[in-house]
Amino acid sequence: FEIVTGVALLVGWRPKEVTRMLLVLILFFTFLTGYAYLSGKFKSCGCFGDCLPISPFQSFLKDLVLLGLIIALMRWQQYIKQSVPSTIGGIILIVATGASSYMQVYVLNNLPFVDCLPYKVGNNLVEKMQMPIGATLDSFAITFRYKKAGQIVEFDGNSIPEDLDSTYEFVDRYDKLVKKGTDAKPPISDLVFLNANRKDTTIDILNQPGYYILLWVKNPQNIDRNLATQIKELKKLAATKYIPLFIVTGISDMQYWAPLGFSVNEVLLCDYTVSKTAARVDPMYMLMQQANVIDKHPVEQTNSFFQELQQLKSNPEPYIFIPSDKPMPKLKAD
């Protein structure tokens, strides 16, 4: 809608009505961004997409500036002249409406034109899970509160009473911020793959040798009979090349995955929000080589991915994935 009204303004089509619509629109968005900033509940704003993240304050300030500009347009709208004949202007608006609608539908069913997220092709997921160089965490002083003989006693880790025993009754503890950190965190901070026993197998998956495929599925209802057949054929081809294929989902019920030829050990559980970030369309293939993202395809492009897989070099030997019960080690800052 913003694109169409912007084009209408540029060609000078009905400036009075268009500026009124823009005013209503910017008042609505100013309210939203103002709430996001003043409430403190949001850390970033997606107004310009993933490639240009801005803070709620910057977004609110941007809308205030736009509000001022739109008020100025309304005040001096008599100076907005029609730049093209009405017929051509109408055609331009129809084309703009069709093009913007097509792009909206396209990006809902395909990968974005430009991927700026940490799961994009070419990235190493393990590297993206590490703290940025020079990043520091917040430092806190922990104070414990105990009760002894009816009196509240407070102490920190460096001044624990020598007679601390069962006569002390724990009350609570509170943390005081001593040194503020950089607020930096890894680009990927919440990626966890769980096996059927709900054990963390993230490091086992990302460190396995050779190629493997992750099929991200948020809603199994999106896999119709035709897609199911294509997935099974692709899985057979991957098996001839010793390339493991895993389902990554938040749904553990095997009634959805067994008919596709997947065993329990080939189903990885992952948080829904993480899946939405890693896979912008549902379902989606992600071709991996160890922790490196080699390629990504929406499941509607299974045939083209099948052809790509045919050209791919086989893994040197079969890799039998044995889920580990060992938790993934915490990554430290460099």
Please give the pLDDT value at position 332. 37
Q: How far is CA 105 from CA 109, 111, 112, 275, 301, in A?
A: 7, 11, 11, 20, 16
Q: Which two tokens stand for residue 325?
A: 């019960």
The DSSP result for 231-294, as a single string, is HHHHHHHHHHTT--EEEEES---TTTTGGGT--GGGEEE--HHHHHHH-SSSSEEEEEETTEEE
Please give the pLDDT value at position 294. 95
Q: How far is CA 222 from CA 100, 203, 283, in A?
A: 25, 29, 7
List the chain pLDDT tens, one digit each, 334 residues: 777 887 887 777 777 888 888 888 888 888 888 888 888 777 777 666 667 777 878 888 888 888 888 888 888 877 778 777 878 878 888 888 888 888 888 877 778 778 888 899 999 999 998 877 776 777 778 888 888 888 888 888 778 887 888 888 888 888 887 777 666 678 888 899 998 888 888 988 998 888 999 999 998 888 888 889 999 999 999 999 999 999 999 888 888 899 988 888 899 999 988 988 898 888 899 999 999 999 999 888 888 889 999 988 888 876 655 554 444 333 333 3
Please give the pLDDT value at position 327. 40
Dist. CA 24–CA 28, nearest whole Å: 6
How are beta strands 284-289 and 267-269 bridged, if at all? unpaired
Dist. CA 308–CA 211, nearest whole Å: 13
CATH 3.40.30.10 residue spans of the chain? 111-132+187-334
Sheet with strand 292-298: strands edge to edge: 267-269, 245-249, 211-217, 284-289, 292-298
* Residues in the chain, total: 334
Interaxial angle between packed helices 15-39 and 56-75, expressed in degrees from 0 to 180 and rounded to the nearest 10: 160
Q: What is the fold, at CATH topology level, of the domain defined by 111-132+187-334?
A: Glutaredoxin (3.40.30)
